[in-house]
Chain A
Amino acid sequence: MDLSGLALGLETALQPGNILICLLGVTLGTLVGVLPGIGPTATVALLLPITFNFDPIASLIMLAGIYYGAQYGGSTTAILLNLPGESSAAVTALDGHQMALQGRAGPALATAALGSFFAGTVATVVLALFAPPLASAALKFGPAEYFALVVLGLIASIALASGSPIKAVAMIVLGLLLGTMGQDLNTGVPRFTFGIRELYNGLDFVSLAVGMFGLAEIIRNLERRQSASLVTKKVRGLWLTRKDARAITWPVLRGTTMGSLLGVLPGAGHVLAAFTSYSLEKRLSRTPERFGRGAIQGVAAPESANNAAAQTSFIPLLTLGLPAHPVMALLVGAFIIQGITPGPNVINDEPALFWGLIASMWVGNLLLVMLNLPLIGLWVRMLTVPYEVLFPAIIAFAAIGCYSLGLNAWDVFAIAASGVLGYALIRWGCEPAPLLLGFVLGPLLEENLRRAMIISRGDPTVFVTRPISATLLLLAVAALVVSALPAVRRKREVVFTEED
């Protein structure tokens, strides 16, 4: 609220020891996050024990650093190898990987880094100024509002596909169905688990993503006779051109706004932020057909949204003591180990910690840009590794990554299964991104639908009598109408594979 808090925070965050810890955190986070199949949540879980020996502020600065560092690293893998480590990176992979294949990995990575830095800076200010009001706004979201929000998100995600909309819808529905696998929350009945106890928690997102994006992509690449290296065209520059910079300005701004707001919502915020901002850019673009074929706006918007949301998702945790995201739940554990009770009083009881953490996020974002921009050259060179060495490495890393997190062999089998299914569907003109988003949002959709109906005692009007929910559903209907408009559909069919 006041700037004295931020000043105290900067004072804390800029202590040399804390800068060092922050640097360590973001570096570790980036390095682990870059490994295929290991996203931010897994990275934090993996590195959590390292921080137990530090003092509370240092340990939280480091954990937060690991979290957004891993998010950066995850985008790098999504762009270079088409392997998203978590749902929001799946959106980045759409255009980012196409750019990489066209020899434009450098600009794609630079866009991700700069967009994220800008978003992170803005989100830090948002966090410092508006945390309490945003937190209480988030509390207004009950089950009915979440259901409406997810419906809106799903309809927006039709735009993720550059091909046939009806296939995109079918893929979303298939994703929703795959999301129902596992133990039913309300009754405990295991659904579609074939008696396998390891499947009670459902399919793992990482397995599905690694299979559908990574493995399927590798099989597709093996279709081609020549496969000396992944990049088919000459690498054209590592840096943004003036044209690129102009193209990404608005997408970054809009993505940042979307991310800062949606990030506050527990559960779905950062996923919805990434792909609604992508859909928005595609709708606003004069050349929507370029999306999915290496449009730089398709990297800028979701990356900014994603990173802004990563920052503001700390709001419910810091102001209310409520974890909004699996990573935040891990941080709650870290707070407790450090002897700090997470809760609504942290801001008053531990102002140095609260503000120090917020300020350190900005410092961390700055460090990340400084760390990542020079690394771009290195990453791009990695793409020139002979493909017959690169793809076994991708598969090996992904398999170990998936297995190591739950020691669950079925997570590995799921890679193979989703790889085969994904390859077949891609060959038949169905793109995997909508399926992945359906999969992530499916449990939220079902849980909140059922929960809302239980709370309203079976009265379905609850969705339209609550103002937020009604507004969101209205927007969803509008989005559906827009995507059904023939004019929009005609534009889709124009195919440009080359940019001018």
Chain B
Amino acid sequence: MATAGRRRPFVPDLLAGGVFVLLGLAFAIGGARYDVGSALRMGPGYVPLLLGGILTVLGLVIIAQAFLGGDQPARELADQERAPVPWWRAALLVAGVLYFGATVRGMGLAPTLFVMTFLVALAGHRSGVVRALITAAGLTVLCLVVFVYLLQLRLPLFGTWLGR
């Protein structure tokens, strides 16, 4: 107990617990806005409200745990590999995926895929702009061959934004 008390709260547990509390509350509050009904005749809000409440409580327990020494395996894991978050690499990946979703319908598969794979490839450790461009070009061709030529998916290569 004494050692646990001296320790500073275990940050990953605080964060995980915090996210669970936030999401739990969001679902519970959102659920309460729908018709909750009763245990006998449950409305659409009943289960989300109930589960959201449970998640909130679990989140609070995890936060409490963080002050009492934290979750041991996670702590050891965290000590082993305390690598920094690869912020801009992750951002490139996410941007690439979002770009694909946003433009594939309008621009068509070919240009969207090229831009997306370029953005994503830029995130690699050993890839500069030129290498990323080469990777993107190669992958675009590969994907088009696999999905459009071999699998015959009905995805227009060029979309309506580019004219028919």
Q: Could you tell me the distance between the alpha carbons of A392 and B116 in the complex, rounded to whole angstroms?
A: 9
Q: Is the CB of A219 within 8 A of B136?
A: no
Bound together, the chains give a CA A415 to CA B117 distance in angstroms of: 15
| B44 contacts A162, C-beta separation under 8 Å | no
Q: Which residues of B lie under 8 Å from residue A460 when comparing CB positions?
A: 39
Q: How long is the Cα–Cα vector from A430 to B13 in the complex, in angstroms?
A: 9
Contact A495 B55 (CB under 8 A): no
- Is the beta-carbon distance between A170 and B121 smaller than 8 angstroms? no
A493 and B75 CA atoms in complex are apart in Å by 11
Known: A223-B84, A404-B155. A450 touches B42 (CB 8 A): yes
**How far is it, in angstroms, between the C-alpha of A400 and the C-alpha of B35 when the chains are bound?**
38
Task: Establish whether residues A173 and B55, one from each chain, have CB atoms under 8 Å apart when the complex forms.
Answer: yes
Q: Does A189 contact B (CB under 8 A)?
A: yes
Roughly how many angstroms separate A388 CA and B135 CA in the complex, as a whole number? 9
Query: Do A177 and B59 have beta carbons less than 8 Å apart?
Result: no
The 0/1 profile, CB within 8 Å of B marked 1, for residues 383-400 of chain A is: 000111101110111011
Q: Are the CB atoms of B93 and A32 closer together than 8 Å? A: no
**B89 → chain A, closest Cβ, in Å?**
5
B5 at interface, CB cutoff 8 A: no
Of A365-373, A419-427, A470-478, the segment with at least 4 beta carbons within 8 Å of chain B is A419-427
Q: Does B68 count as interface, using CB distance less than 8 angstroms?
A: no
CB distance from B94 to the nearest CB of A (A): 5
A425 touches which one: B19, B52, B73, B126 (CB < 8 A)?
Answer: B19
Q: How far is the CA of A224 from the CA of B44 in the complex (A)?
A: 45
Q: Which of B58, B73, B97 contacts A495, CB < 8 Å?
A: B73
Q: Which of B54-93 contact A (CB under 8 A)?
A: 54-55, 58-59, 61-62, 65, 71-74, 76-78, 81, 83-86, 89-90, 93
The distance in angstroms between the C-alpha atoms of A191 and B151, with both chains bound, is 35
Proximity bits, B109-146, A CB within 8 Å = 1, else 0: 10001001100110111110001000110111011001
Q: Are A164 and B12 in contact (CB under 8 A)?
A: no
Interface set, chain B 18-37, CB cutoff 8 A to A: 19-20, 23-24, 27, 30-31, 34-35
Chain B interface, >50% SS class: helix
**A166 touches which one: B62, B81, B84, B98 (CB < 8 A)?**
B62
* Size bin of chain B's contact surface: 35 or more
Query: Is B102 close to A, CB under 8 A?
Result: yes
Closest to A412 in B: B101
Contact A388 B19 (CB under 8 A): no
Given A222-B86, A412-B101, A458-B41, do A166 and B65 touch, yes or no (CB 8 Å)? yes
Which segment of A2-10, A180-188, A317-325 sits at the interface? A180-188
List, in ascending order, chain A residues with CB within 8 A of B9's CB: none
- Does A455 lie at the interface of the complex (its beta carbon under 8 Å from any beta carbon of B)? no
What residues of chain B lie closer than 8 Å to A410, measured between beta carbons?
A: 101
Asked if B120 and A392 sit within 8 Å, CB to CB, the answer is yes
Whether B120 contacts A391 by the Cβ 8 Å rule is: yes
| Contact assessment for A164 and B71 in the assembled complex, using a CB-CB cutoff below 8 Å | yes
Give 10 pairs: A residue, B residue, CB < 8 Å, sorted on A: A176-B51, A189-B35, A192-B48, A215-B93, A225-B125, A395-B93, A416-B101, A429-B78, A430-B16, A492-B73
Instruction: Give 11 A-B pairs besides A411-B101, A429-B74, A450-B47 with Cβ atoms closer than 8 angstroms.
Output: A169-B58, A177-B23, A191-B30, A388-B126, A388-B135, A395-B93, A404-B155, A410-B101, A429-B77, A457-B40, A495-B73
